[in-house]
Amino acid sequence: MSTSFENGINTLKEVIDAPIAAYFSSCTNCGICAQACIFHTETGDPKYTPIRRVEPMRRIWEQEYTLVGKVKKALGLSKPVTQQDLEDCVELAFESCTTCGRCSMVCPVGNDIVYMIRRMREGLTAAGLAPKSLQEAAVRTLEKGSVMGFPMKTLEAMVKAAEKETGIDINIDKPDVDYLLLLSSAEVMQFNEIIASLAIIFKEAGVTWTFSTLAHEAGNPGMHMGASDIEAQMINRIVQAAEELNIKNVISPECGHAYMAIRWEGPNVIGRPYPFKVFHIIEVLDQLREQGKLKTTGCESERITFHDPCQAARRGGVNQPQRNLLNMVSSNFIEMKDSMACNWCCGGGGGMNTIEKAEPLMAKVFNRKRTQIEELDVTTVVTMCATCRNTLEEGIENNNMNVEVVGLTELVANHLLKEKKS
């Protein structure tokens, strides 16, 4: 038995806590979760039934922690989990699952299947079987502070460009301001117009904010891998940055998994409460709207719809703020048939967009989102997650659809009413 395999098995034994034991005990194998998963609905393959993604862990639970399972194991009626079992599970736990949470939402007995899959990933990672792309992303983030590996000077160059464009000074490492702003790698390297957009919005709203050289990136491959130790290191950097700058509010970027990691998982992962509050950027913009500090002018008249990022909307509970903002800037906003907490995943989250082997399956399951968009006959899809934006743009291009994808923050900035200051 290899050391890595043994580590994986021991980790799976350790992560089987009371909730997971209860989930396995209560699962009736009804299959309802399958109808909520795009990988099952778009392929028809029963192996993509969500609960099947954790079969090795279920077998370990049965054999190690139930009387029936121990008897079956002793009689040779239940075979031990093998190295091949774990290797086969990589496809199901990593390469065909975005941890979107739709399966958990529909489970009739309330089992959190995503939580189980995350724990399954933890065991696979301990066994050295996490996809290489995720392992490399984790190394880059730990060593350079960025998922894509760009240094702080890259962000500083983007900041200077935004300052030149807007004429607004942008703070770095400034203490005692209203907000510490975090970005995702995709926002810096692909959608960096968000920096200028936020500078304009915050200037008009009278909000003070800063970037931090210690923690400018909110992306967290540790979360995707189920590696709590790596996830904790990344989160602790943000905590340290906020504490050193004496900042009481941290803004998570337009990135679903970053929001889930820093907002909802962070305190549990690092084992202590935050000395600050965390908000998704769209929550902050909606708060400014409610306070009368965010005013817009003009409306988009063309038909637009909104794609809700799974981690922010279904898993994170941010559903209404984006609609409040959209209704400020659009006179022809049309909801998708399944939206908000019931939305269908774009197919690229949970780290899947980094796994080259998963690309053909991602292209296939995009059919669900393509159908949603086409039946509305819209010209624009708005979203609030950089990963979703990338996945939507690629899927739309691959399917020759004449539809534009835009970020909600930039859309709001384009319609910002700039009042003259006395």
Residue 276 exposed, middle or buried by CB count within 10 Å (0-12, 13-18, 19+): middle
Q: Determine the Cα–Cα distance for residues 92 and 333; give it in Å rounded to an integer.
A: 36
Sheet holding 209-210, edge to edge: 209-210, 179-181, 249-252, 277-280
Q: Determine the Cα–Cα distance for residues 398 and 346; give it in Å rounded to an integer.
A: 14
How would you write the pLDDT of the chain (422 residues) with one tens digit per residue?
577 999 999 999 999 999 999 999 999 999 899 999 999 999 999 999 999 999 999 999 999 999 888 988 888 888 899 999 999 999 999 999 999 999 999 999 999 999 999 999 999 999 999 999 999 988 888 888 888 888 888 889 989 999 999 999 999 999 999 999 999 888 888 888 899 999 999 999 999 999 999 998 888 888 888 888 889 999 999 999 999 999 999 999 888 888 999 999 999 999 999 999 999 999 999 999 999 999 988 888 899 999 999 999 999 999 999 999 999 999 899 999 898 989 999 998 888 888 889 999 999 999 999 999 999 999 999 999 989 999 999 999 999 999 999 999 999 999 987 775 54
Q: Which fold does the domain 3-130 belong to in CATH?
A: Fumarate Reductase Iron-sulfur Protein; Chain B, domain 2 (1.10.1060)
304-414 maps to CATH 1.20.120: no
pTM: 0.91
Exposure b/e, 47-85, CB count within 10 A at least 16 = b = ebbbbbbbbbbbbbbbbeeeeebeebbeeeebeebebee
Q: Tell me the domain boundaries of the chain.
A: 3-130, 133-290, 304-414
Q: Determine the Cα–Cα distance for residues 6 and 4; give it in Å rounded to an integer.
A: 5
Identity of residue 9: I
Task: Report helix, strand or coil for 419.
Answer: coil
Closest CA to 406 of 396, 398, 416: 396
Q: Determine the Cα–Cα distance for residues 25 and 35; give it in Å rounded to an integer.
A: 21
